[in-house]
Amino acid sequence: FCSRGPLQDLRSLSGGQRSVVALSFILALQKADPAPFYLFDEVDSHLDRDQREALAQVLEELSDSSQFICTTFSPELVQKGNVFYVTHKQGASHVESISPERALNLLQGIITLRPED
């Protein structure tokens, strides 16, 4: 059923529109049959700022019942997160727990990866 004219082929949608459709489907399934955790790899990369803020709010609300692990370069998602890790140091993989402030600074390009003083 389509209330606003003819159906559109998903291939005709923009990257952001496809992301919204996919996220809507995943989150609807989450409501019907929740999993203990979800892994999202840059799921917000094609979303605009308002959409990223809305996604961050929804994930924050849903995190009471499921864990969401997200890779992102988006400050909107980082601002709602509570645990942060970085995985690249001198060309090698490395896991380092960092503060929310440091995560935001890294996204803004203010500091480089180095031990905190």
> Are 106 and 71 part of one and the same domain?
no
> Are 32 and 66 part of one and the same domain?
yes
Residue 91 in tokens: 């060309």
Instruction: Give bridge partners of residue 69 from the DSSP assignment.
Output: 39
In this model, does residue 112 exceed pLDDT 70? no
Amino acid at 14: S
Parent domain of 26 = 14-81
Which CATH number does the domain housing residue 28 bear? 3.40.50.300
> Are 19 and 75 part of one and the same domain?
yes
Strands 96-98 and 84-86: antiparallel
Q: What is the pLDDT of residues 76-108, one digit of tens each?
A: 999 999 999 877 777 777 788 989 988 888 888
pLDDT of residue 107: 82
Q: What is the pLDDT of residues 53-84, one digit of tens each?
A: 999 999 999 999 999 999 988 899 999 999 99
pLDDT of residue 2: 58
Backbone angles phi, psi at 104, to 5 degrees: -65, -40
Q: Do residues 73 and 62 lie in contact, with contact meaning Cβ atoms separated by under 8 Å?
A: no
Backbone angles phi, psi at 89, to 5 degrees: -150, 120
> Are 21 and 70 part of one and the same domain?
yes
Assigned domain for 91 exists: yes
